Structure 1
């Protein structure tokens, strides 16, 4: 058997002793199943090692596929099924199931939506606008009445009424206020009503600031997102990116391997840490990533993990040389091993499944400029509007 090891050279010394489980779990599990099949066939188990699954370059095969093609091995490690490989090998059974894909945490809701409009529905926002407009009109009428019958801070113009209403809407207060009882009662009602809305709004904002989104679920959405895309720095990733010609995968490949600058490839520990920090998608066999996630992530950080399949191929299976005399014998042995539950037992022993979100707990979440960008935009908007109003007032005064 040709065993493919890419994580660590020490794997060749720990194929069966369950040591260094974080390295090459697929190769270890494949070898254990194949060794059982060899013994069932009364064959002497032997192995060789390769550091590449096997890809065609300049018309020649490399790695494990080349070992099988040239008779150095009778079969290989569980691997992905590619059309080119079907010309030289036949696939049998899936003895060490694994997935390859992008793993990332869903970005915060504030990253993909304006959370400052989400606490209330459209109908509530319209009701608030109507309430504020009505309050402005009533305060204007009250101030006009006060200017006729007594002393007041309000001059009976629309701008003063708007200023008082906006102050109530933003819960800031205002130095201008009515003097008569009717105007003060009206102002108290406005502040009380908007205070209750303000409390409900603030409570919703706190929740939304910590809420993950569900905006990125497909390969197309991932290619259009602003997430940093990278790959595990192992041999197969340097070949996988660039094997496809469809626009979505080409766009992803350009982000992983940009034309200018360094390609985004990281070793497994650094890649998983970047996943934990967020806004980062890491392409790898998912098993070693989840193993590291279990060791380093908090419980609340496991709840928004998502994986997206980049290759979208058939389930990986064991390659055997075409027209091999052992093909049917191995196929029967693999099915017997699967039916007896041995493959399932080995799978649970060597592979880590996707971490389950046991409980969604609340935790401290810092707020950065990215979360407040819509609010910060109000400042330049306000400056522009105030300058426009200043120009209009000067033109009006001169005319």
Structure 2
């Protein structure tokens, strides 16, 4: 082959084409004389191209490059299609830019139908037409498609003329799309279930993202083959199940539900684009008194003050008993009388002691003065504790664990998986102490009903919880609701197989929806905002419930039971004493008769 003729025929087009594609590295598949290849490399180097040559029949494979690599192939060479086997299995990835010269366009297309030249491939055929070269891009919209989409991207005639083309139209291609639906579907088909709006169960954006998928298929002219799966994808028996497993095995093209970011999934799949965040948290009605209800009556005074009151009680009772025994002005001078007097004085209940001695009167006066002062302060502190708005002192996960509240979580697989994987000591502690026991995983409806009843903290998706709160909680219960996150709000993302040809379509389409405000609109339609606490006269009115009053009833019951037990003991004691006395009298009578 004449070298000058070769340069005139091919080289200007090669230089212009690879400049347009920004590929500085070029591999030449040659069937030419070595002199032509060497001179061609010299000419390419003048335009700052780095080139190398490879024989068509070489058996060693090339590696996947990070930079773009231009590949030059001429179908006039015998066995030209063997060049494709040197790049398996990624010979038509976007990094490789193919320029194929041919004189028989139809025959070349027919031979290349056996190769996976997909949307993300960059394959251009230069077909000689009279004095110029027509440039055609070829690709398939899917693996099972039996024909190429052929776009005329321009021509070369002493210069490169490029037509504007795109690959957004997928020509009705059907993508396999697994959607996570863990709950049971009753009395309707899968398609009807997805078509109906169910905001009350749209945790982690399942249905909201399905709306996005419907917009995407209209944008790019494709359809879905929907596949129902029960799990987002977790390692079971050494491999992933659910949606991640389907994508990993190549049984699906795009994830129909968004996922949390996890490193083990990122090793196998590509996170394409973020969508919405999801926020999981513990929701509970903050108790008025985080401690026990007995603490309502002990909290107003410190431990030192209680010790002083007990000491005063003992000293006053002892002094009163000593004084009564010393001056015996009263028929009853027992220690129990002195004890009851001191107790009644502290409880603001009078107990008459008829005594004319000055020491007794002074002791009674000082005891009542002290008890009145103490009683006024204690009574005011207890009343204010019961009626004032409770302080919000359960603020962290550790506070929630130490509190007397019971706890549970939504019965979904990703919550259980979190507890298995987490290293957070606070999360592990609350799970082991309050959630791990049987029966503490509930549906959102059951869990929020327990929250409404009080004394229960439920871990749930906030979007689902807010909708239930708006429908079932009163204004006062909404104002008492408090939230503690177990972990920070999580970003959700769309997943696809590694090197998927549809990655650009999904990423571009969702970003365009973000810019147009469509995703924000979907979020306002599907996501329930947090119910606002509206302060009015009804929910400001604070009443004392039976739970706060229960300790007084317990004390009363304990006193009554104790009194009955003591009474029974006294009756038994009285009967025993009477029987002993009667036996003694009978014995004396018998002894008297015997005399």
| Shorter-chain TM-score tier | 0.7 to 0.9
Deviation at 1:350, TM superposition (A): 0.9
Q: Contact 2:410/2:459 (CA < 8 Å) preserved in 1? A: yes
Q: Which residue of 1 aligns with 2:241?
A: 62
How far does residue 57 in structure 1 lie from its aligned partner after superposition? 1.0
Question: Is 2:348 the counterpart of 1:167?
Answer: no
Counterparts of 1:160-199 in structure 2, within 5 Å, are 164-176=341-353, 183=362, 189-190=369-370, 192-194=372-374, 196-199=376-379
Taking structure 2 as the reference length, the TM-score comes to: 0.51
User: Is 1:85 aligned to 2:265, yes or no?
Assistant: yes
Greater shift in the superposed pair: 102-111 or 82-91? 102-111
Shift of 1:159: 9.2
Higher alpha-carbon deviation: 355-364 or 166-175: 355-364
**418, 432, 441: which one aligns with 1:265:** 441
Residue in structure 2 matching 1:102, options 278, 282, 293: 282
Q: TM-score by structure 1 length?
A: 0.73
The question of whether the paired residues in 2 share the 8 Å contact of 1:104 and 1:306 is answered with: yes
**1:24 is matched with which residue?**
202
Secondary structure of the structure 1 residue equivalent to 2:529: coil
Unaligned runs of 5+ in 2: 1-176, 564-595
Counterpart selection for 1:347 from 511, 514, 523: 523
Q: Which of 254, 258, 262 lines up with 1:74 in the alignment?
A: 254
Q: Render the CA deviation track for 1:60-114: whole Å, top value 9, x for unaligned.
A: 2211112322241323312222221111222244423322233333344153582
**Equivalent position to 1:358, from 518, 525, 534:** 534
* Deviations, residues 146-193 of structure 1 (Å, cap 9, x unaligned): 969xx67997x9997776454222222222266589757667645654
1 or 2, which has the higher strand percentage? 2
Give the match's secondary structure for 2:493: coil
Aligned to 1:119: 300
Change in CA separation of 1:368 and 1:180 when aligned onto 2, cut-off 3 Å: same
The reply to whether residue 239 of structure 1 matches residue 420 of structure 2 is no
> Does the C-alpha gap of structure 1 residues 177 and 85 become closer, same or farther in structure 2, counting only changes over 3 Å?
farther
**TM-superposed deviation, 1:30:** 0.8
CA–CA separation in structure 2 for the residues paired with 1:353 and 1:370: 37
With over 3 angstroms needed to count, the CA separation of the structure-2 counterparts of 1:100 and 1:191, relative to structure 1, is closer
SS of the aligned residue for 1:96 comes to: strand
User: Which moved further from structure 2: 192-201 or 91-100?
Assistant: 192-201
Whether the aligned pair in 2 keeps the contact of 1:103 and 1:305 (CA below 8 Å) is yes
1:201 is the counterpart of 2:381: yes
Q: Please give the alpha-carbon distance, in whole angstroms, between the structure 2 residues aligned to 1:172 and 1:355.
A: 49
Match of 1:46 in 2: 224
Shift of 1:295: 1.7
Q: CA RMSD in A?
A: 4.4
| Greater gyration radius | 2
Contact kept in structure 1, 2:346 and 2:368, CA below 8 Å: no
Question: 1:231 and 1:207 mapped to 2: Cα distance?
Answer: 32
Distance in 2 between the 1:283 and 1:130 partners? Answer: 45
Q: Deviations over 1:15-66 (max 9, x none)?
A: 455x3332336222112223334434x2324252322111121122211112
Segments of structure 1 that go 5 or more residues without pairing to the other structure are 384-399
Note closer, same or farther for the CA distance 1:198–1:378 as it changes in structure 2 (3 Å cut): farther
Distance change in 2, residues 1:253/1:189 (3 Å): closer
